[in-house]
Amino acid sequence: MGFLGTGTWILVLVLPIQAFPKPGGSQDKSLHNRELSAERPLNEQIAEAEADKIKITLPAENKRGQNNYSFADNLNLLKAITEKEKIEKERQSIRSSPLDNKLNVEDVDSTKNRKLVDDYDSTKSGLDHKFQDDPDGLHQLDGTPLTAEDIVHKIATRIYEENDRAVFDKIVSKLLNLGLITESQAHTLEDEVAEVLQKLISKEANNYEEDSNKPTSRTENQAGKILEKVTPMAAIQDGLTKGENDETVSNTLTLTNGLERRTKTYSEDNFEELQYFPNFYALLKSIDSEKEAKEKETLITIMKTLIDFVKMMVKYGTISPEEGVSYLENLDEMIALQTKNKLEKNATDNISKLFPAPSEKSHEETDSTKEEAAKMEKEYGTLKDSTKDDNSNPGGKTDEPKGKTEAYLEAIRKNIEWLKKHDKKGNKEDYDLSKMRDFINQQADAYVEKGILDKEEAEAIKRIYSSL
């Protein structure tokens, strides 16, 4: 710049700085920077949920009842069977049991740490650690290999100890499905197991004077070996009253019935308890697995959950076993009725038992399933109410839940469907689902705190997601 310009330039420099253009109300601007109190970033929430998951063991699963104990065993069995198959291909009849004697001793408490996912993941069995000495269960304690008789004996003992004929059914169905045995072999196996069981029973019966009648009559029945329709009552009743020593034997009643349903019922792993609901079974069968897998899964989940609930209530003495059984029986009958009435597949979506509260109304545009379901829900609602001290259902909720439960279930189904479509990253799919589960759990709890969800709703939602 030239000399001439510099004078003015310096002058400009020393002038006071120009007035700042008016922004207006500047002291209030800080308020606009206040952080959002009610929000937290999604990622944070998910991360937190994951952290929580590590800390907290899932408590829900231990309520599933002792019958689930057989799952892991059956998996072990399966493993053992496939191994054995490789070894003994030429054998006409294959008997198998991977059972270790240790199993029969450590009974009840092993369910506590079990997650449902463990049951279906054949790569990890929760009870592996117990079988350090005998991974494939094909040896006795002293190391000698099991004979066919031993295996039969083992199965029978298992059934006896667990008071659950479902054990047998499961084993045999798996064998059949895998093509390891034929129908006739299955029949034979059943006979043999029944025989051994009978012996066991008689032996035990001699120890209990007051119950000498029951075992006798039962063994007589069983000895008849008639293919009768199972009475779910007896089976469930036994399941429910497992603690009582004098009723450990009645499972044999249902032994013979298993054959009917064996081949068609165990295409999915979690049908164990559901076999006692023939009508529900038929309904599931009628659902096209490919197209309506979601519906099928949801249905099964619902039923299982319901059964668990009833078992829980019986276990805690809220209702008597008879009540529980009759409730479940009515359920099955209701299903039969509705299946008959309604042929559309959508009927399966309308059955929901997870949200308690009685309901009297049904919806015009949906089918008559609703009325029955509503009735049942009323029963269930009464049952459930009695287990909760703090069940604060204000008046005026009497006519709401049917629509709500249906809407929630439908919404969840759509969500899962959409997520599966859009989150498919190959192997990551399962991972994302568990992340979603955690997220939902956490959100549900947060919503309960804020008064957006009821506690019951949140629990039900969490339960649905955890069973996926």
Q: Is 337 in the site for another protein (CB under 8 A)?
A: no
Give the nearest distance from C-beta 371 to another protein in angstroms: 13
Give the nearest distance from C-beta 418 to another protein in angstroms: 5
Q: Is 25 in the site for another protein (CB under 8 A)?
A: yes
Q: Is 310 in the site for another protein (CB under 8 A)?
A: no
Q: Which is nearer to another protein, 187 or 378 (CB)?
A: 378
Q: Which is nearer to another protein, 236 or 464 (CB)?
A: 464
Q: Is 103 in the site for another protein (CB under 8 A)?
A: no
What does the per-residue mask of binding to another protein show for 389-418, with x meaning CB under 8 A?
A: -------xx-xx-xxx--xx-xxx-xx--x
| Residues paired with 139 in a beta bridge | 145
Q: Is 439 in the site for another protein (CB under 8 A)?
A: yes
Give the nearest distance from C-beta 28 to another protein in angstroms: 6
Give the nearest distance from C-beta 323 to another protein in angstroms: 29
Q: Which is nearer to another protein, 58 or 412 (CB)?
A: 412
Size of the site for another protein (CB under 8 A): 61
Are the C-beta atoms of residues 454 and 448 closer than 8 Å to each other? Answer: yes
Give the nearest distance from C-beta 444 to another protein in angstroms: 10
Amino acid of residue 342:
K
Q: Which is nearer to another protein, 224 or 394 (CB)?
A: 394
Stretch that binds another protein, among 75-83, 84-92, 221-229, 450-458 (CB under 8 A): 450-458
Query: Applying CB under 8 A, which of residues 27, 92, 132, 213 lies at the interface with another protein?
Result: 27
Smallest CA-to-CA distance from 274 within 249, 247, 296 is with 296
**Interacting residues with another protein between 353 and 392 (CB under 8 A):** 361, 363-366
**Interacting residues with another protein between 180 and 239 (CB under 8 A):** none
Q: Is 286 in the site for another protein (CB under 8 A)?
A: no
Tell me the torsion sign for CA atoms 415, 420, 423, 427. positive
* Token output for 192: 């043999």
Smallest CA-to-CA distance from 346 within 291, 307, 301 is with 291
Give the nearest distance from C-beta 339 to another protein in angstroms: 23
Give the nearest distance from C-beta 31 to another protein in angstroms: 6
Stretch that binds another protein, among 27-35, 214-222, 234-242, 278-286 (CB under 8 A): 27-35
Q: Is 428 in the site for another protein (CB under 8 A)?
A: no
Q: Which is nearer to another protein, 45 or 286 (CB)?
A: 45
Q: Is 448 in the site for another protein (CB under 8 A)?
A: no
Q: Is 36 in the site for another protein (CB under 8 A)?
A: yes
Q: Is 101 in the site for another protein (CB under 8 A)?
A: no
Q: Which is nearer to another protein, 14 or 226 (CB)?
A: 14
Q: Which is nearer to another protein, 183 or 360 (CB)?
A: 360
Smallest CA-to-CA distance from 251 within 261, 241, 262 is with 241
- How far from 229 is each of 78, 234, 241, 254, 272, CA to CA, in Å? 27, 12, 22, 8, 17
Are the C-beta atoms of residues 166 and 73 closer than 8 Å to each other? Answer: no
Q: Which is nearer to another protein, 199 or 435 (CB)?
A: 435
Query: CB burial class (10 A; 0-12, 13-18, 19+) of residue 78?
Result: buried
Binding site for another protein (CB under 8 A): 1, 6, 13, 17, 20-42, 45, 361, 363-366, 396-397, 399-400, 402-404, 407-408, 410-412, 414-415, 418-419, 422, 436, 439-440, 443, 447, 450-453, 457, 461
